[in-house]
Structure 1
Amino acid sequence: MLTILLAFAASSLAQQVYIPAEGSSRPQCVANLSYATAAPSFTFRQFAFTQVETIRTATSIPRPTSTPSFAPPYAFLSHLVPNLTTTQWGNWDPSRTLSATDVGKPYGNASWTALWTSISFSNFSRGIYSTTVTPTPVPSSDLVLPPPDYFGPRDCYYFPEDFILGVAGSAAQIEGAVADEGRTPAIVDIASIGNSLSSDFVTNENYYLYKQDIERIAAMGIKYYSFSIPWSRILPFVVYGSPVNKPGLNHYDDLINFVISKGMLPTVTLLHTDTPLQFYANYTDTRIAPGAGIGYIDGGFQRSFKNQSFEDAFVHYGKILMTHFADRVPVWFTFNEPLLGSLNGKSVNAVIKSHARLYHFYHGVINGTGSVSLKFNDNFGVPRDPKNQDDVDATNHFNDFQVATFANPIFLGIDYPEAFKMTIPDFVPLSAEDLVYINGTADFFAIDPYTATIVSPPENRTVASCASNSTDPLRPYCVTQSLITTTGWNIGYRSQTYVYMTPTYFRTYLSYLWNTYKSPIMITEFGFPVFGEDEKALSDQLFDSPRSWYYQSFMSEMLKSIWQDGVKVLGAFAWSFADNWEFGDFTAHYGIQTVNRTTQERHYKKSFFELVDFVESRRQKAH
């Protein structure tokens, strides 16, 4: 018999509730307590197979009867982006010898081609498509729900009628066609140079298969589709005064219209880790050595190009997209996880101020009635021992650095947290006028809370001493992170990557965000790459129970957060709607659909059905 020790020193307490060896309570069984002492009755009877296989199918989003409008159309807003010119460029293919006759023109075909030929690509490849594919309806046989797992959620709560359920993807990770229809290089395109990473040249070929992807998402009953638009496909030469790529505008105009025609609503991210490469003198400048900066890749936020700051150029790009598409797009995200793309304090300053400028442009100039925010990353830190003040202080430092650095000025109108200022000496001070302008420039709190991590102070030194030492290997967070509890167990069920299944901590996190920043919360990404999925047969990839457990447990804890903790959660977007390119890796499958990278055929996974079924079976009905 397993004996569980109840006496632990205070220093070894972890994030668990310890139970007697007799087992856990079963509150759902209160009505059947008589079985606890009664003897069973054994009888013979006529045998017959009684199992019945129930066949259910997904319910597609109905076609819209009207088209909502969230801002005036471009014809009424074009004066806000004056002197725009449009042109178009072709495709770059290193296997063909191309010669341009407009040498010397700053924005001509020769200049455009030179942006690609200046990079030493190896194994540059193209997909099997070169034009938009006409979608086909999803057969009903593909929409049959899978057999459920035996053990499932036991909650009895409901989602509000207007709860948002969506799926997400980003251009760099799904589109491919990186050198087609006028797009110029971005930092993600050179990720594979000089190392063994896979490239994003083909990925899911969503650039040509977007209608089929949207058709498949709508057929599953998803209402919201979140995607990003590459800056380098809209403004191939990046800066104010350069021409806009007409095919690029037409592509996303058609994509948005097709989303709406299927009864869905689009949400757009302006920058998802794909800064144009022209901001860098050398492609190696995009990499941040461990401990040499804040994030993992230099997003270029502190840089300039042709005497235009990133901030000014990005705001111009954002204005182009908003004036063209804000009439049909209800939700805008300026940046995705900007902390991970920040090199220094100037990077953070540029993100916050450019975001605020676009927020004011959307609501104050074009009078948009939708929403604007930016997505934060944070593997939520929980203290190793919640009764140990040093662990609690280290955890607050960890979470402040990742979230409060941006959220303090944007949501609370207050200065950067001390965790940031004590660690990053070149931070740009925010004046009183800055804080007034920045305060309240997000309509909800957007977060990508994939997992949790256990936090304690650094060994043999303090957080403060680490923060003041520019060579300390624990910088910039200056805490010890662990995925092993003090009992020796993993913090949760492990995935292929850094994600562990930590649903109860997710509920804690929602309460932390709600009560700290006083804003409604949107889960803009969360997902789970099943361990070893890439090595499995297709049928086993489709029956992805661990991913279902992840989504259902997180959503169940979200319901408890809404009803028991009083937290306002607006919705959730699953990452990702299909297996994709995880910034150099195809083996980590985050998708709720499989993708055959040779044929580009897609298949629904079990988790897709069960996530939708979980929400829709618990959605409040209209009165």
Structure 2
Amino acid sequence: MRSSSFWITSLAAATGAQELYITSNGTPARPKCTQPVASPSYYFQPFSFTLNDTVRYATSIPSPTTTTKYAPAYTEAAKHLTSLSTTTWGSWLPGQTGISATDTADPYGQAAWSSMWLEADLQNYTKTGLFSTTVSPTPVPTSELVLPPPDYFGPTDCYDFPEDFVFGVAGSAAQIEGAIALDGRSPSFLEKLITGSEPKDYVTNENYFLYKQDIQRLAAMGVEYYSFTIPWTRILPFVLPGTPVNRQAIDHYNDLISTILDAGMKPIVTMLHFDNPLMFVASDNIGTRILAMAMPATRMRRLLMRKCDLGVYSVHFFADHTLGRFVNYGKVLLANFADRVPIWVTFNEPLFYAFNFQGVDNIVHAHSQVYHFYHDELKGSGKMGIKFNDNFGVPKDPKNASHIQAANRFQEMQLGFFANPIFIGKQYPDSVLNTLPGAKPLNDTELKYMNNTADFFGIDAYTATVVSPADEGFDACASNTSPSNSLFPYCVNQETTNIYGWNIGYGSETYVYITPTYLREYLSNIYNTWRHPVFLSEFGFPVYAEATKQLPDQLFHSPPSLYYLSFMSEVLKSIYEDGVQVMGALAWSFVDTWEFGDYSQQFGIQKVNRTTQQRYYKKSFFDLVDFVKTRQHKD
């Protein structure tokens, strides 16, 4: 046993070399003052204003000097595609009730494309945006790049981010692009999901036309990586293998990628992010209950659950016939864009697409096939992974074995279901095989093919959730597949209060709580279980009722700054003190987005005026970038 003096010395080193004294019960107390404190003396003196603002500016990304290629250019990569046909279509505008095109004999012509929007039957499609063509960017005024006053307290770590740490921001097409029926895009599930008076995805942030300005604003702030998504229905309006590729979409995303690179930034591309083709909606009651457990209490969850309950739609998007179609779509993206994109994500939060055993099984197979195509056939030198949604399940009573078992079961069904075969070539968890209807193990050939088919483990780790077993126990719950059993198939209770009745952290407009110490534990859990670099692929915090406040109050929002800086400080500790390889972190979102029928959940680090589409930097954006820039590795 080491002496108490050793532990005191180590503790002082771990806390930034502050001198500490230890209370009688062995816990650290306040730092001991190193200078004697004199008795105060009080006196009068002439008063003058002495506090002056120190003006600091964000540092823009410098222009690139070299261009890196990560895969063959399209002319070479296209040899791996079975169909090279491209064409263009027009736009479906609000108020159109018929088909004016006369090429009815062409199964992929204008008439056929228009008929998909007729079948979508968007009775509320009445709004178009301000723009109809790409907007040229304007320089960001220096006055917008002045850092806000700092918060009084801040992180005290002494670490630098590794030289190869990926830092950036993220967004998704469905939530920012708008232009849903323009330039050949066909319907996705989301256009049918949101009905009534709730905000639709028809316009959102008009990023489809404003992307050049958005990229310029990010580069001006010093952002290094920009993560975006490409809609399947914009690239392949008829979705299926062998159908024509949309030439306008290819040109658009080629220009978006060029804009990112020309700004000195690097692109990250996600292939599928909730905007599934409308034709892939299928029925699955078991999946509905998995959805209820997998999704946080967001508007999207409530909408999906309501649609399922009413029998209007169901939520099993990834049926057997979809597997090969997604793989074909992934190959089209990689052949066109992989030469300039260093990081790829196949699926964003796939529990949203695959809510039963067969759906997840198909996701795992599809991801592995796309990975092999990228690295084995294209010889891509970049990174490809997959990212998951999961509020880290922590045992309500960490001294209770059944609570620990509940947390492990929760992680297995949320993450292990996908991650076991993809990352370590391991069989699906027993909790899955013994619970889900139709579940069957992978064979040895499948496990060998899937093993190590990801270069990083992406996790959208917004917050934690407190987990305890179902009241009737795991076995009884798992055997009861009745629709009335709301805890099936996870068979755990999820709460936001700890065993003492306290919230697990400061709450937000949504399900997110500020839980930085749980994040550090989570990163260690993932890294040591699935043994791949961990990528914090989304994290963010929407302030409660922020949308109701005056603009200056929306911009000076300190809770997200606390959230981001505490999370990033724990990332550094995870790297240096726990030995966890954290590949990078992407803030969600770079701008307030359309949150699936809702604009009040303001996850953005920029504010959007919904009338003018003007963007405003928020305090958390400055604080987050400044935190990273002042801690970047220096030789």
Q: 1:324 aligns with which of 326, 332, 336?
A: 336
Residue aligning to 1:441: 453
Secondary structure of the residue that 2:139 maps to in structure 1? Answer: coil
Unaligned runs of 5+ in 2: 1-21, 295-300, 305-313
Which of 133, 136, 142 does residue 135 from structure 2 map onto? 133
- State the Cα deviation string for residues 359-378 of structure 1 (Å, max 9, x = none): 01100011000000010111
1:202 shift after superposition:
0.6
Structure 1 window deviating more from structure 2 (339-348 vs 218-227): it is: 339-348
**Cα shift at 1:152:** 1.4
Q: Is the 8 A contact 1:408 1:416 kept in 2?
A: yes
- Shift in CA distance, 24/126, structure 1 to aligned 2, threshold 3 Å: farther
1:294, 1:340 within 8 Å by CA — same for their partners in 2? Answer: no
Measured in 2, the distance between the counterparts of 1:550 and 1:225 equals 20
Counterpart position of 2:319: 303
Q: Which runs of 5+ in 1 are unaligned?
A: 1-18
Q: Is the 8 A contact 1:294 1:343 kept in 2?
A: no
CA distance in 2, matches of 1:168, 1:286: 33
Is the CA contact 2:286–2:355 (under 8 Å) kept in the aligned structure 1? no
* Normalised TM-score (structure 1): 0.92
SS at structure 2 position matched to 1:32? coil
Deviations along 1:300-325, whole A, 9 cap, x unmatched? 55436xxxx21111111100110111
Q: Does 1:173 align with 2:185?
A: no
1:156 is aligned, of 158, 168, 181, to 158
Which of the numbers 533, 543, 550 marks the counterpart of 2:563?
Answer: 550
Distance across 2 between alignment mates of 1:262 and 1:343? 40
Specify the code of the residue in structure 2 equivalent to 1:426: G
Please state how far the C-alpha of 1:357 moved relative to its aligned partner. 0.4
Match of 2:108 in 1: 107
Among candidates 389, 394, 411, match of residue 399 of structure 1: 411
Report what 2:146 is aligned to: 144
Please state how far the C-alpha of 1:271 moved relative to its aligned partner.
0.4
> Deviations 1:379-427 (Å, cap 9, x if unpaired)?
0011111111011011100111101111111111110112222221212
Q: Does 1:521 align with 2:519?
A: no
Aligned equivalents of 2:402, 2:25: Cα separation in 1: 34
- Number of matched pairs: 593
* Alpha-carbon distance, 1:162 to partner: 2.1
Q: Whole-Å Cα distance in 1 between the matches of residues 238 and 263 of structure 2?
A: 34
Q: Is the aligned partner of 1:592 residue 2:605?
A: yes
Cα distance change of structure 1 residues 430 and 449 upon mapping to structure 2, 3 Å threshold: same
Distance (whole Å) between structure 2 residues aligned to residue 453 and residue 93 of structure 1: 44
Task: Work out whether 1:271 is the aligned partner of 2:259.
Answer: no
CA contact (8 A) 1:301 1:350 kept: no
Cα deviation per residue 1:426-475 (whole Å; 9 max; x = unaligned)?
A: 1243110000000000001110000001111112x111211121122112
In structure 2, C-alpha distance between the alignment counterparts of 1:94 and 1:50, rounded to whole Å: 60
TM-superposed deviation, 1:519: 1.1
Code of the residue aligned with 2:476 in structure 1: it is S
Give per-residue Cα distances to partners, 1:46-104, cap 9 Å, x unaligned.
Answer: 54332121000000000001111111101111110133100010000132465111113
Q: How far does residue 564 in structure 1 lie from its aligned partner after superposition? A: 1.0
State the Cα distance separating 1:340 from its structure 2 match: 2.4
Whether 2:277 is the aligned partner of 1:261: answer: no
Over aligned residue pairs, what C-alpha RMSD do you find?
A: 2.2
Does residue 617 (structure 1) correspond to residue 619 (structure 2)? The answer is: no
Tell me, yes or no, if structure 1 residue 539 matches structure 2 residue 541. Answer: no
1:168 CA displacement: 0.3
The TM-score, its normalising length taken from structure 2, stands at: 0.90
For the pair 1:466 / 2:477, whether they are aligned, the reply is yes
1:121-520 to structure 2, matched below 5 A, reads: 121-124=122-125, 125-193=127-195, 197-280=198-281, 289-290=288-289, 300-303=316-319, 309-459=321-471, 461-471=472-482, 472-520=485-533
Q: Select between 38-47 and 345-354 the one with higher mean Cα deviation.
A: 38-47
Q: Which residue of 2 aligns with 1:71?
A: 71
8 Å CA contact retained: 1:176, 1:206: yes
SS class of match (1:149) = coil
Task: Give, as a single letter, the amino acid of the residue that structure 1 aligns with 2:370.
Answer: L
Q: What's the counterpart of residue 49 of structure 2?
A: 49
Alpha carbons of 1:26 and 1:76: their partners in 2 closer, same or farther (altered >3 Å)? farther
Q: Distance in 2 between matches of 1:92 and 1:511?
A: 49
> How big is each residue's C-alpha offset from its partner over 1:259-313, in whole Å with a ceiling of 9 and x where there is no partner?
00000000100000111112247xx989964468875656655436xxxx21111
Equivalent residues of 2:383, 2:455 under 8 A apart: yes
Give the aligned partner of residue 307 of structure 2.
none
* 8 A Cα contact 1:273 1:299, kept in partner: no
Pair 287,20 (structure 1): closer, same or farther in 2 beyond 3 Å: farther
**Cross-structure match for 1:40:** 40
Instruction: Letter of the 1:396 partner, please give it.
Output: N
Deviation at 1:123, TM superposition (A): 2.5
Q: Report the AA paired with residue 251 of structure 1.
A: H
Aligned-pair CA distance for 1:149 = 1.0
* Contact 1:455/1:479, CA 8 A, preserved across alignment: yes
Q: Which residue of 579, 602, 608 maps to 1:566?
A: 579
Mapped to 2, the partners of 1:562 and 1:592 lie a distance apart of 25
Match for 1:333: what amino acid? V
Native 8 Å contact 1:301 1:348 kept in 2: no
Give the Cα–Cα distance (whole angstroms) in 1 for the partners of residues 83 and 159 of structure 2: 54
Deviation string, structure 1 residues 171-222 (Cα, Å, up to 9, x no partner): 00000000000000001111213x5542111100000001111110111000
Structure 2 letter corresponding to 1:611:
L
* Alpha-carbon offset, residue 21 of structure 1: 13
The alpha-carbon distance between structure 1 residues 235 and 286, as it changes in their structure 2 partners (threshold 3 A), is farther
Partner of 2:10: none
Amino acid at match of 1:133: V
1:261 maps to a residue whose letter is D
